[in-house]
């Protein structure tokens, strides 16, 4: 039988490749990360991985951990390169506040409440990038988001005993990354026509 540890290691590697691709795109000047999203994407998976470990997950947590490590690398790289910006606009700050409140609830909550809180935090964290992708589709990398979706998919495939606490976060990440990719493809195609 196939060892699921290999699958999660593959997910980790794919997520790190995604970070490298995004950092190279920053160097090329073809992407400008929304730092609010990337800050939260660097934080939320670490909390989600901690909760998943507490709820009995083991190797399936590795791609979730990578989902936090890769954005942390990108964020540090972007700040170092002075790429992207903090958007003090109401929308981004509202998303930041919702995510932080949800993270707080997640930290003090257990089970289903913590799971719902992390999902709300992740969703709110992604909204600024979804909005930016819609408005400026040429400032994002489709490939990096596809790879992130693949990495999160490996976490889903590695779950031995399915339950909401273990499956919800990687499932949401897959959905959100594919939404971003769809927007980028649609909006780029629309701008060409």
> Tens of pLDDT along 80-113?
988 876 666 788 888 888 888 887 887 777 678 8
> Using alpha carbons only, what angle is made at residue 41 by residues 35 and 43, rounded to the nearest 5 degrees?
105
**Which residue did the predictor score with more confidence, 193 or 145?**
145
Is residue 193 pLDDT above 60, yes or no? no
192 pLDDT tier (thresholds 50, 70, 90): low
CB 62 within 8 A of CB 8: yes
Look at residue 1 in the predicted model and tell me its pLDDT.
Answer: 45
Share of the chain above pLDDT 70, in %: 94
Please give the C-alpha separations between residue 21 and each of 60, 129, 158, in angstroms, as whole numbers: 24, 17, 25
Q: What is the pLDDT of residues 24-44, one digit of tens each?
A: 999 999 999 988 899 999 988
CA 121 to CA 150: how far, in whole Å? 21
CB 46 within 8 A of CB 68: yes
CA 149 to CA 173: how far, in whole Å? 7
Q: Which two tokens stand for residue 58?
A: 């083991």
Closest-CA residue to 63 (of 150, 177, 161): 150
Look at residue 132 in the predicted model and tell me its pLDDT.
Answer: 92
Q: Which two tokens stand for residue 178?
A: 């594919």
Give domain limits for the chain: 4-192
Q: What's the gap between Cα 66 and its chain centre?
A: 9
Share of the chain above pLDDT 90, in %: 42
Q: Which two tokens stand for residue 102?
A: 């949800």
Q: What is the pLDDT of residues 109-131, one digit of tens each?
A: 767 887 888 899 899 999 999 99
Q: Which of 72-76, 91-95, 141-145, 182-186 has the lowest mean pLDDT?
A: 91-95
CA 34 to CA 130: how far, in whole Å? 10
Please give the C-alpha separations between residue 109 and each of 6, 103, 112, 115, in angstroms, as whole numbers: 32, 10, 8, 9
CA 9 to CA 16: how far, in whole Å? 11
**Which residue did the predictor score with more confidence, 91 or 134?**
134
CA 103 to CA 107: how far, in whole Å? 6
């Amino acid at each position: 039988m196939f060892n699921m540890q290999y699958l999660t290691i593959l997910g980790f590697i794919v997520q790190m490749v995604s970070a490298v691709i995004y950092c190279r795109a920053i160097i090329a000047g073809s992407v400008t990360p929304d730092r609010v999203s990337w800050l939260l994407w660097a934080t939320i998976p670490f909390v989600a991985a901690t909760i998943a470990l507490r709820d009995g997950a083991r190797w399936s947590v590795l791609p979730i951990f990578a989902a936090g490590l890769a954005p942390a690398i990108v964020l540090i790289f972007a700040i170092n390169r002075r790429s992207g910006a903090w958007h003090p606009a109401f929308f981004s700050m509202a998303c930041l506040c919702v995510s932080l409140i949800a993270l707080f609830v997640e930290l003090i909550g257990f089970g289903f409440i913590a799971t719902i809180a992390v999902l709300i935090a992740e969703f709110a964290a992604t909204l600024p990038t979804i909005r930016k992708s819609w408005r400026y589709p040429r400032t994002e990398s489709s490939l990096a988001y596809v790879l992130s979706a693949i990495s999160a998919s490996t976490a889903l495939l590695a779950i031995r005993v399915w339950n909401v606490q273990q499956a919800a976060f990687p499932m949401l990440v897959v959905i959100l990354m594919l939404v971003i990719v769809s927007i980028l493809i649609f909006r780029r195609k629309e701008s060409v026509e």
